[in-house]
Structure 1
């Protein structure tokens, strides 16, 4: 009996290994339709092309070269030739992927990494959970509610202006790590706008919650993707059995963040329940979200839990602070590199007074073009990834020539195929945006090339805020904040760049001084 059981177990193991070799190796290597696509070669079975796709100092050049050589839809290799993937810059194909999030969700590995830091909010939730969260959050992010937050943005922009003036003192100029200061300011903004909580990060970096967020995000940036962190994705029990510094830091920081978050949430829930809607004055996003979650328009099965709400607050800080601060920092950098554009923008900004309403700032045409061009040129989210949850057919607007010589206008996508979402690629492709696609030229928005008007994207034909049902809910929040900060800071200071700044994709596209490890953006500021 024992020998028969062992024989059966051995046969099952052999069959399982054979099945895995067929699915993971032989099929993908020899028979997958993805392998029939043309694409760059790796010159070695275990070489990867991910650095060409995901590093912003390299990717624009490779995207242009590969599209010219292979067409807009091609095969690339992830972790070696056993991992063929689709890279497409075809607008019809990408629209199809982003408009069918159930068929093309984020890979579970990506979701696990995201949720470890910021919980199961909008960034990591999929399917019914994501739809419930989106339904509850949508009213809070209406244009009317967001414009009501403009005074918070202005107050923090003016506070930052005063701090920089103090740093200048009697000097003609001073070097400022712009990205660090902007990050502190946007953190204050999301604290007040998100749930009416004052971090006072611009005054001092001593608040416990602020320090917990900073420490949590920093440990992820400092350590990056190590062999240990990748192994933990597949064996999460390691974090419990053998916790390392990263795991311990995140656990400690979550204790602070969720502890304070629960106190704020309970207080706000009592306030909403005990006060009539007409008598409520707070317009912060958490109050609006609680009100939406309790409204008669939301059925009981559509409501989200307190834990979900806390995860959303956590997500607000990641998106509302980190990504917006980077967009603002890159905008000031580009204005420093293009002084004529900076002077021209300042002339337009000076046509308005300091205390003007946001509607007047929003109506400034050149400021609008500058913001669009920065968001096109250096999107905070460089790229993303999707995986086919089932077999599907990908429509193509541009026919693709296969390795066999035949031409196709649609591509069969096997279940489990990874598809890269080249956010920056869609924004910078010379074939679409013209020969100066990699340059900062706000005037391009006066007359876009016809091909650019066909690009997918929630905002102005660019992919910076993604597209489809999972497009960025905070797009308008970011743009209002950008315009108000630029309005106050560029009217007050001249920005000059004297360092060689490079872009690196470290979760988001961050500035680095060439040759240095820590992310920073030193600019010279002069008082006007």
Structure 2
């Protein structure tokens, strides 16, 4: 078996050398597109783009090269970083079947999450979304609002017991992560992960939280994975994976295994309840109104051609939990940090909440989502600090990418469109588009919630940014937009409504440093690997 591993490694090395040779002798239409120089002979700009301290590289590149530029991938390949609005419309709408998720990423996601929304393409993806869409409608969000409030009040009580009558500094990220997991558990799965009454841990939640840092710790493997996936059969990959002598890779496999085991356990428990009838479903945590109950019922009633097999239903569980936990909790953490740094904004939000409900009762859905200042703070934070900075696509065939404004090629020629070869990696610049000064003005890099309380720039409306949310790319757009963005918005506003009436948020003594990753996360300082964010909380009035 060891000799087989050595042979496979030698074959992979040989393949890498051949690909490198091909990359450096091939002339590409992208060679005329300006962009940063490669910083590695082997990896191109991979280490510049994909590292947790990469903020400077991304900002310098967009400022130096504009809304579309070339970057170097591994082994001499070229890619395009894009945030030009017209180009983005083609990528995620008009030509979305050409600009697909890369095959290797889909394969990676299948291994990590099963056959959920993150792991399917084309008609297969559309079929899954069709069954899931009713569970994310506004009407369903209204029905779930009481569940959100009840769960958030449990968090408030737990934190109040730690804060006491004076103040306390605490890891707010940890609490918000637990809350987000419990909210997707109750609202999404009809399952309770966490009582939120003490410093307890949940194995599923710990696995979800550890997944993104674990993935970034094996970035070299992810760089080589496209070639391994293309040339080595999955049966061989699965046979060799346990034998690889890399502790970080083994840890990632353990995390993926834990996620899968817990997802299957939740599915079979829910399936058994649904098979017993409505009364049994009503006795579960979500009272039969959770997303998975709706999906499983719809699947039972679907025609044979629309019905999803069990493995795909299980895949939705892991996908929903992963997609809804760190993204929302980390976005909320960023909001609370900004409020701690801007006490005037925090006071205005609190005053708006008190005016909406002077008695302190939970604010109904229609009133809560319409509160202008809280909405402005959420939109501005999601604009300036999207939880995900970029998304990758891969061209399935040669395609012409049109541009909103011409760019100057390396040869001096003005280009209004770019011929993009098949198999080119496209990075959709989410954060870059949200900070595009040509659309948002010279203050685009500043956090100004008030910008949402008056008319937005005409250039922004004329650009037709293809995002599904407020001229932003934060939740993407098109057929692969974030299906749960209304769920996330409601969660953030309920948490803010409850917590701001109970606590004043102040900066803590520990430094907050945000790391760039698949989902951005904070740590205490630049060097720590443990996600955490400490703020000081003071009680307000009666709890």
Matched, 1:94 2:102: no
| Cα distance per residue 1:352-401 (max 9 Å; x no partner) | 22233121111211011011011111111121111101111111111121
Structure 2 counterparts to residues 352-367 of structure 1, below 5 A: 352-353=356-357, 354-367=361-374
**Corresponding residue for 1:45?**
41
**Corresponding residue for 2:119?**
124
User: Tell me, which stretches of 5 or more residues in structure 1 are unaligned?
Assistant: 1-15
**Corresponding residue for 2:419?**
412
Deviation at 1:436, TM superposition (A): 2.2
| Cα distance per residue 1:325-372 (max 9 Å; x no partner) | 111111111111111111111111111222331211112110110110
> 1:64 touches 1:429 (CA, 8 Å); kept in 2?
no
User: Tell me, which stretches of 5 or more residues in structure 2 are unaligned?
Assistant: 1-14
Matched, 1:344 2:348: yes
**Corresponding residue for 1:12?**
none
Residues 1:47 and 1:19: Cα distance change in structure 2 (over 3 Å):
closer
Q: Report the TM-score, using the length of structure 2 for normalisation.
A: 0.85
* Secondary structure, counterpart of 2:183 in structure 1: helix
2:518 to 507, 523, 528: 507
**Corresponding residue for 2:169?**
175
1:32 to 28, 35, 47: 28
In structure 2, what is the Cα distance between the partners aligned to 1:228 and 1:73?
A: 27
**Corresponding residue for 1:494?**
504
**Corresponding residue for 1:463?**
473
* Secondary structure, counterpart of 2:458 in structure 1: coil
In structure 1, what is the Cα distance between the partners aligned to 2:471 and 2:121?
A: 25
> 2:356 touches 2:363 (CA, 8 Å); kept in 1?
yes
**Corresponding residue for 2:268?**
262
**Corresponding residue for 1:304?**
308
Matched, 1:334 2:326: no
Deviation at 1:252, TM superposition (A): 4.5
**Corresponding residue for 1:72?**
67
Deviation at 1:299, TM superposition (A): 3.3
> 2:390 touches 2:431 (CA, 8 Å); kept in 1?
yes
Deviation at 1:67, TM superposition (A): 4.5
> 1:63 touches 1:429 (CA, 8 Å); kept in 2?
no
2:293 to 287, 298, 308: 287
Deviation at 1:66, TM superposition (A): 3.9
Residues 1:25 and 1:302: Cα distance change in structure 2 (over 3 Å):
farther
Matched, 1:250 2:256: yes
| Cα distance per residue 1:80-100 (max 9 Å; x no partner) | 6x1211112210101111113
> 2:404 touches 2:416 (CA, 8 Å); kept in 1?
yes
Decide which moves more: 71-80 or 118-127: 71-80
Matched, 1:135 2:142: no
2:482 to 472, 476, 489: 472
In structure 2, what is the Cα distance between the partners aligned to 1:519 and 1:206?
A: 17
> 1:386 touches 1:421 (CA, 8 Å); kept in 2?
yes
> 1:139 touches 1:292 (CA, 8 Å); kept in 2?
no
**Corresponding residue for 1:9?**
none
> 1:232 touches 1:239 (CA, 8 Å); kept in 2?
no
Deviation at 1:72, TM superposition (A): 2.0
In structure 2, what is the Cα distance between the partners aligned to 1:415 and 1:189?
A: 41
Decide which moves more: 210-219 or 158-167: 210-219
In structure 2, what is the Cα distance between the partners aligned to 1:88 and 1:342?
A: 35
In structure 2, what is the Cα distance between the partners aligned to 1:368 and 1:493?
A: 19
Matched, 1:196 2:190: yes
In structure 2, what is the Cα distance between the partners aligned to 1:50 and 1:329?
A: 28
* Secondary structure, counterpart of 2:311 in structure 1: helix
Deviation at 1:311, TM superposition (A): 0.7
Deviation at 1:420, TM superposition (A): 0.6
2:429 to 415, 422, 426: 422
**Corresponding residue for 2:533?**
521
In structure 1, what is the Cα distance between the partners aligned to 2:539 and 2:532?
A: 22
Residues 1:201 and 1:386: Cα distance change in structure 2 (over 3 Å):
farther
**Corresponding residue for 1:450?**
458
Q: Report the TM-score, using the length of structure 1 for normalisation.
A: 0.87
| Cα distance per residue 1:463-507 (max 9 Å; x no partner) | 110011110000100001111110111111111113432211233
**Corresponding residue for 1:106?**
101
Residues 1:68 and 1:265: Cα distance change in structure 2 (over 3 Å):
same
In structure 2, what is the Cα distance between the partners aligned to 1:452 and 1:379?
A: 18
In structure 2, what is the Cα distance between the partners aligned to 1:228 and 1:77?
A: 17
Matched, 1:224 2:216: yes
> 1:33 touches 1:412 (CA, 8 Å); kept in 2?
yes
Residues 1:494 and 1:241: Cα distance change in structure 2 (over 3 Å):
same
Residues 1:17 and 1:62: Cα distance change in structure 2 (over 3 Å):
closer
Decide which moves more: 225-234 or 100-109: 225-234
> 1:262 touches 1:310 (CA, 8 Å); kept in 2?
no
Deviation at 1:108, TM superposition (A): 2.1
In structure 1, what is the Cα distance between the partners aligned to 2:259 and 2:119?
A: 19
* Secondary structure, counterpart of 2:117 in structure 1: coil
> 2:180 touches 2:329 (CA, 8 Å); kept in 1?
yes
> 1:272 touches 1:291 (CA, 8 Å); kept in 2?
no
In structure 1, what is the Cα distance between the partners aligned to 2:311 and 2:163?
A: 45
Residues 1:20 and 1:79: Cα distance change in structure 2 (over 3 Å):
closer
Matched, 1:431 2:438: yes
| Cα distance per residue 1:202-244 (max 9 Å; x no partner) | 135667xx41341354255246332456666726332245583
**Corresponding residue for 1:374?**
381
Deviation at 1:513, TM superposition (A): 1.9
> 1:376 touches 1:427 (CA, 8 Å); kept in 2?
yes
